[in-house]
Chain A
Amino acid sequence: MVKLKVAILGSGNIGTDLMYKIERSEYLTMSVMVGIDPTSDGIQRAKDRGYHTITNGIAGLIACPELFDIVFDATTANAHSAHSEQVLALGKKIVDLTPAAIGPFVVPCANLEKYVAVDNVNMVTCGGQATIPIVYAINQVVDVTYAEIVATVASKSAGPGTRANIDEFTRTTARALEEVGGANKGKAIIILNPAEPPIMMRDTVHVLVNEGGKEEEITKAIEEIVNAVQQYVPGYRMTSAPIFEGQQISVFLEVEGAGDFFPPYSGNLDIMTAAAVQVGNQMAKLQHGTVKSN
């Protein structure tokens, strides 16, 4: 079977973790790491593992179209629009891990099927990847009128980009709770906790639904979607059973990362890269069908 060749744009922590996850993919093959700093740790690691490396950014990548079929953009929102334009012009695909969100929001177990044929998709935020599946699952049973999520992450796993743009995190997550989760109104809160040793990523989902009851059916839907997320993030779990109180439901989650490049407590970073690889896998499967029929 022909695997899709992957270019990772951005040789920082996210890019490096992606590289490790792609190595395990049945449908993707790591090809080239693209950065702007030849001395960066991510470039060194890619080189050591025998991959191509490009250190003059997107220009360098565009000059070598034979090296890739699909790009994972782990740079910044500002840089993404230019990256996207050039990659799409070559007829290739791009998965956006920045908050730029030019393409549609994708959360694998909620709406991936709908957008797998789109050439630029956006991975929302870590808090969104962790919580939207729950809102989506509840909304399949009863109408979710309001969804609010509280993502608590270890200070050490919130990088400078997230910190400088914390409003973008909350705003984007809130919008995706509506667009992908199906809530009439979404709200997101993020809290950074500096405790040592670092805490595991925690996510609490509070929703208001239009009718009380159906506890069994809702619990079952939540459990099923937790299982579905566990297929690509094995450390994703409920820390206790959902709390039902009239028309309010609260769900408590913890995300333990796979420990590829990030330490396991950084479930917030891990769920982003794992979900992105999942999207890449599905795109590859679709493309693979096309390749075969040619």
Chain B
Amino acid sequence: MTKQLTVLDVTLRDGSHSMRHAFTEQQVRDVARGLGEAKVKYFEVSHGDGLGGSSLQYGFSKVDELKLIAAAKEECGDSAISVLILPGIGLKEDLKNAVKAGATMARVATHVTEANVAGQHIYLSRELGLKTVGFLMMAHMAPTSVIVEQAKLFESYGAEIIYVTDSAGAMLPHEVKERVAALKSHVACEIGFHAHNNLSLAMANTMAAVEAGATYVDGSLRCLGAGSGNTQTEVMVAVFDRLGYETGIDLYRTIDVANEVVAPFMPRPQEITGSSLMMGYAGVYSSFLLFTQEAAKKYNVDEREILVELGKMKAVGGQEDLIAEIARNIAVVK
């Protein structure tokens, strides 16, 4: 029997970090149309830090995300649009507005130990009839027992799918397998996995997750995402096809949209630079990358020193304000 797998493309959300939140409406239309034609069932459109992420802290969106969601909706045919929301950043009304613009899935994201800030957003998402996901970020920072306990909270609020999210690209395949397998045996929800490629393990980790029972996996075209990006969607489609999984996605069309639409607007290749490697190694949130590079330049300090310090301070997703301060302090000490 063929095993079913849902690939969710995050180019238009995680890629927003790499694009410094400057996606144009045309870029979004073109990607959305391509993903629709390739029969990618779900794809995500939001500011990189989720709904309401447009800010001085994370970067203002060049085009309002609601406008981008509505544009994507017009182009994407039978594909469905997901939005990310981080309680503490995005508000319930942001989610309602996203639904009006065309979203039908909500992924409610918290740090891996803080699922109980997501109750009101998960309830609302279910009330609005959305496919509802609990997204446990920085999963490398908590032991499996804690992840299970947090997943149970998400499940109790009404999440239908729970993601293990390797925001720092810091996990190794056996760690992914252990966490996904534990969730699989302790919660009734479907399990998903979201990777970052900082240690060149995104595809391997995604395979490990699927082997352990994950049925939702995230990818981005040409890896366009924070840090070194995500598992490459088109590669993943090919790999899972070879492994005998049914994704329902047209490989050639996926390659076409990656080559013809995404590659031309990418600001830089998603290669594993010294600093993204360090993020995976030190366990630092992937979207800190560009902020760290800017701060390193401005204060003339080594990017790696900033990243290691962020790792030491156990910074969590969203703490971009630490970066400039750390860089300046390193510069002062010197």
Partner of B313 from A146, A150, A163, A195 at Cβ < 8 Å:
A195
Q: Which residues on A sit within 8 Å (CB–CB) of B92? A: 167
Q: How big is the B interface, by class?
A: 20 to 34
- Decide: A240 and B91 in contact? CB cutoff 8 A: no
Q: Is A111 an interface residue (CB 8 A)?
A: no
- Decide: B316 and A191 in contact? CB cutoff 8 A: yes
Partner of B325 from A148, A170, A240 at Cβ < 8 Å:
A240
Q: Is B264 an interface residue (CB 8 A)?
A: no
Q: Which residues on A sit within 8 Å (CB–CB) of B317? A: 191
**Measured between alpha carbons, how far is A169 from B88 in the docked complex, in Å?**
8
Most buried by A among B56, B91, B317, B322: B56
Q: For chain A, what secondary structure do more than half of its interface residues adopt (helix, strand, loop), or is it mixed?
A: strand
**Measured between alpha carbons, how far is A87 from B250 in the docked complex, in Å?**
68
Q: Which residues on B sit within 8 Å (CB–CB) of A166? A: 87-88, 117, 120
**Measured between alpha carbons, how far is A148 from B57 in the docked complex, in Å?**
8
Residues A171 and B89 in contact in the complex (CB < 8 Å), given A193-B314, A206-B57: no
Encoded as 1 (CB less than 8 Å from any B CB) or 0, chain A from 65 to 85 comes to: 000000000000000000000
**Measured between alpha carbons, how far is A66 from B121 in the docked complex, in Å?**
44
- Decide: B88 and A170 in contact? CB cutoff 8 A: yes
Q: Is A243 an interface residue (CB 8 A)?
A: yes
Residues A250 and B324 in contact in the complex (CB < 8 Å), given A164-B119, A192-B117, A206-B56: yes
Q: State the Cβ distance, A248 to closest chain B Cβ, in Å.
A: 7
**Measured between alpha carbons, how far is A195 from B121 in the docked complex, in Å?**
24
Q: Which residues on A sit within 8 Å (CB–CB) of B322? A: 202
Encoded as 1 (CB less than 8 Å from any B CB) or 0, chain A from 132 to 165 comes to: 0000000000000010101010010010100111
Q: State the Cβ distance, B270 to closest chain A Cβ, in Å.
A: 26
**Measured between alpha carbons, how far is A167 from B123 in the docked complex, in Å?**
13
- Decide: A150 and B57 in contact? CB cutoff 8 A: yes
Q: How big is the A interface, by class?
A: 20 to 34
- Decide: A193 and B315 in contact? CB cutoff 8 A: yes
Q: Is B321 an interface residue (CB 8 A)?
A: yes
Q: Is B293 an interface residue (CB 8 A)?
A: no
Q: Is B329 an interface residue (CB 8 A)?
A: yes
Q: Is B107 an interface residue (CB 8 A)?
A: no
- Decide: B91 and A187 in contact? CB cutoff 8 A: no
Q: Is A252 an interface residue (CB 8 A)?
A: yes
Q: Which residues on B sit within 8 Å (CB–CB) of A202? A: 321-322
Q: State the Cβ distance, B54 to closest chain A Cβ, in Å.
A: 9
How many A-B residue contacts, CB cutoff 8 Å? 89
Q: Which residues on A sit within 8 Å (CB–CB) of B319? A: 150, 152, 191, 193
Partner of A240 from B57, B120, B329 at Cβ < 8 Å:
B329
- Decide: A187 and B55 in contact? CB cutoff 8 A: yes
Q: State the Cβ distance, A177 to closest chain B Cβ, in Å.
A: 13
Q: Is B213 an interface residue (CB 8 A)?
A: no
- Decide: B318 and A194 in contact? CB cutoff 8 A: no
- Decide: A189 and B89 in contact? CB cutoff 8 A: yes
Q: State the Cβ distance, B333 to closest chain A Cβ, in Å.
A: 12
Encoded as 1 (CB less than 8 Å from any A CB) or 0, chain B from 289 to 325 comes to: 0000000000000000000000001111111011011
Q: Which residues on B sit within 8 Å (CB–CB) of A165? A: 120
**Measured between alpha carbons, how far is A15 from B315 in the docked complex, in Å?**
31
Q: State the Cβ distance, A206 to closest chain B Cβ, in Å.
A: 4
**Measured between alpha carbons, how far is A189 from B49 in the docked complex, in Å?**
11
Q: State the Cβ distance, A83 to closest chain B Cβ, in Å.
A: 23
Q: Which residues on A sit within 8 Å (CB–CB) of B89? A: 170, 189
Q: Is B114 an interface residue (CB 8 A)?
A: yes
Question: Which of chain B's residues has its CB closest to A189's CB?
Answer: B89
- Decide: B88 and A192 in contact? CB cutoff 8 A: yes
- Decide: A167 and B113 in contact? CB cutoff 8 A: no
Q: Which residues on B sit within 8 Å (CB–CB) of A150? A: 57, 318-319, 321
Encoded as 1 (CB less than 8 Å from any B CB) or 0, chain A from 185 to 204 comes to: 00101111111000100101
Q: State the Cβ distance, B84 to closest chain A Cβ, in Å.
A: 15
24 contacts between A and B (CB under 8 A): A148-B55, A148-B56, A150-B321, A152-B321, A155-B114, A163-B114, A163-B116, A164-B116, A166-B87, A166-B88, A167-B91, A167-B92, A167-B120, A167-B121, A170-B89, A189-B55, A189-B88, A191-B316, A191-B318, A193-B319, A194-B314, A206-B56, A208-B56, A250-B56
A189-B318, A240-B329 are known contacts; what are 7 more A-B pairs with Cβ within 8 Å?
A150-B57, A167-B120, A191-B316, A192-B316, A199-B313, A250-B321, A252-B325
